[in-house]
Amino acid sequence: MRSLAYLDQDLWSIQWHNHSKIEHVQLYRVIDHHIYIVLYFKQNRNSQIIWRDQVSLNQWKQLKVMAKLV
């Protein structure tokens, strides 16, 4: 993941490292497993697993906070 930003209610924008396009997604669940975080999207039933070493420390902290909020 390159960037993650909160837009409105459950709408988020995500940009992945392998894509230049920014996606707008609706998150309905975020689960923190301490060494990885799982994102569940409404429009796509596939979950996304993000490991601690895949993102910067700042992004990891944002994901941890988001897991508490969602």
pTM across the whole model: 0.76
- pLDDT at position 51 is 93
* Side-chain half-sphere CA neighbours of 44 within 13 A: 11
List pLDDT tens digits, range 4-22: 777 887 788 888 778 788 8
List pLDDT tens digits, range 22-64: 888 888 889 999 999 999 988 877 788 999 998 889 889 988 9
Structural domains present in the chain: 3-69 (2.30.29)
Cα gap 6→70, rounded to integer Å: 12
- pLDDT at position 31 is 94
- pLDDT at position 34 is 93
| Cα–Cα distance list, 35 to 11, 26, 31, 66 (Å) | 25, 23, 11, 15
